[in-house]
Chains A and B, each alone.
Chain A
């Protein structure tokens, strides 16, 4: 089956629309503004990724959207039901795979799947049939009578994903679905998610830290930082916005000096828009990476810095993220250069 482009914003009834959705936590050490007031729209059949570092507010958003956590402000309509006035209406129509485990170690794989399907109101026969389907498509064969406490981490994760999908919901929330999966299981899960969308028109909102995941799977990416959406678009468009090339220079032990040298000489380096460092790597954004490389290296050699490796690439979503937030996704500490005050 082929998939047609997701409906362009503004057409059709959105699967999910939020307005100023907000959540604060009151803790002993003061108020944590986890989600600042999010406006977002997801259309039927879209796969949308929330991309952001630890603590960005992704899980908090998902817990609000699945009725588990009361928002402290704002509204949302989900699959045609108002989040605040009709949480029960929302519940039957969404599937949720939480970031943390959701299985009882003393229950078997089959018991968990059948039970969840029954809680969603499926009759026993259909619950069993769905269980068999999911066991098959998420590679859980041979594990059905195993207690979940005896599964490997990746097997358990696949079970948790299956539990969230067991009632064929039109809208699915997946909170870091592939964390802990081996590469083969990951790509298998990606295929499964795509197949859901292609065959059933399922809408998916997922969070991830993995750029390749967002790139490979998502029609649209929302970049979240400090509880707000800081950028949004198709992965290809976002990468295009970064513009030019990314040059990475490895200078183990000497990277900070390399960075400051290049930053000082930035006016002599045409097309260079950004110089920054993360660990032993200096990262340079340039209009034409291939051409400027010689100049970059000359500055370094003149300054007595030894570079051990150079690499020029098209920007990845990782670069998009760095560009927007000034921080890398994995490492949430501010970068040395050009970190906007946070």
Chain B
């Protein structure tokens, strides 16, 4: 009960502050719509190729975009906490008895709220472009995105608190998100990939989430890929929360 109140406190403050400088949220909304508009039309031709996965090009492309959005939206949240660390606000919160998990979860929930808003905009835009997918499938997809976003944003906080410096965080985040994205089959399905490349990609949790979301969009709710992707996303979220809580707990050593 106390924990919920505390999460609520942190969440409310973080959300209020985000709304006061909404530039990041707006950029996050515009980016996937640009991808849809500028990249989506190219896919029609690619979808004719034999090794293209089942479903029409939108059913393949939009799940990937959702995952990409959750990666980019959540990977950079650590910058905010570095600013809070720098101006002493975080320290001031850490001398209160508030639970360290609440310090993390209040922030993560704010990030999830932002991510869900962005995802809904993306789905609405995709519908306008021609995506047709079942509502339960899209809801499952959003659930997977929430798990993934939870993991990514927690890890971003953990890394940010450990590094304590934007200039150290930026190159790491950039150099991690880029291969993760390419190796998740977001832009082009990995069914195109040569064996060595799909071998490397098989250790990328994002790949499984993308594939699971695609199954959900095809309303194949019992597909093995969907089960596997859900388990991977849940495990990833748990790992992130563990690392993130540890980072908020840690005294400077």
A295 within 8 A of B: no
Of A9-17, A96-104, A183-191, A256-264, which binds chain B? A96-104
Q: Is the CB of B252 within 8 A of A121?
A: no
Q: Which of A66-74, A272-280, A331-339 participates in binding chain B?
A: A66-74
Q: Mark B16-33, 1 if CB is under 8 A from A, else 0.
A: 110011000000000000
B87 in contact with A96 (CB, 8 Å): no
Q: What's the nearest-Cβ distance from chain B to residue A286, in Å?
A: 46
B252 touches A69 (CB 8 A): yes
* Residue of A63, A88, A104, A116 with most chain B CB atoms under a 10 A cut-off: A104
Give chain A's interface residue range (CB within 8 Å of chain B): 20 to 34
Q: Is A119 an interface residue, CB under 8 A from the partner?
A: yes
On whether A101 and B87 interact (CB within 8 A), knowing A115-B9, A116-B92, A119-B6, the answer reads yes
The verdict on A98 contacting B96 (CB below 8 Å), with A103-B87, A104-B17 known, is no
In the complex the two chains form, is A91's CB within 8 Å of B91's CB?
no
User: Within 8 Å of chain A (Cβ to Cβ): is B253?
Assistant: yes
Q: How far is the CA of A314 from the CA of B38 in the complex (A)?
A: 82
Contact with B97, one of A69, A106, A120 (Cβ below 8 angstroms): A120
Asked if A102 and B87 make an inter-chain contact with CB atoms under 8 angstroms apart, the answer reads yes
Question: B-facing mask of A83-118, CB < 8 A → 1, else 0?
Answer: 000011001101110101111111100010001101
Answer whether A96 and B251 are a contact pair too, CB < 8 Å, given A103-B87, A107-B17, A118-B9.
Answer: no
Contact among A92, A104, A121 with B87 in the assembled complex (CB-CB below 8 Å): A104
Chain B facing A: main interface SS: helix
**Which of A63, A107, A111, A120 is within 8 Å of B96, CB to CB?**
A120
Q: Is the CB of B17 within 8 A of A68?
A: no
Chain A residues positioned under 8 Å from B95 (CB to CB): 66-68, 91, 94-96
B89: chain A residues at CB < 8 Å are 102-104
Residues of chain B from 235 to 251 with CB closer than 8 A to chain A in the complex: 251
Residues on B with C-beta less than 8 A from A111 are 13, 16
A262 to chain B, nearest CB (A): 48
**Distance in angstroms between the alpha carbons of A91 and B92 in the assembled complex:** 11
Question: How far, in whole Å, are A66 and B88 apart by their CA atoms in the complex?
Answer: 14
**CB pair B94 A68 closer than 8 Å:** yes
B252→A68 contact, CB < 8 A: yes
B84 at the interface (CB under 8 A from A): yes
5 closest cross-chain pairs (CB), A and B: A102-B88, A92-B97, A102-B92, A119-B96, A70-B251
Apart from A70-B252, A101-B88, A111-B16, 17 more pairs, CB < 8 Å: A68-B91, A68-B95, A68-B251, A91-B94, A91-B96, A92-B97, A94-B95, A98-B88, A98-B91, A103-B88, A103-B89, A106-B20, A115-B13, A116-B96, A119-B6, A119-B9, A121-B97
- B residues sitting closer than 8 Å to A (CB atoms) are 2, 6, 9, 13, 16-17, 20-21, 84, 87-89, 91-98, 251-253
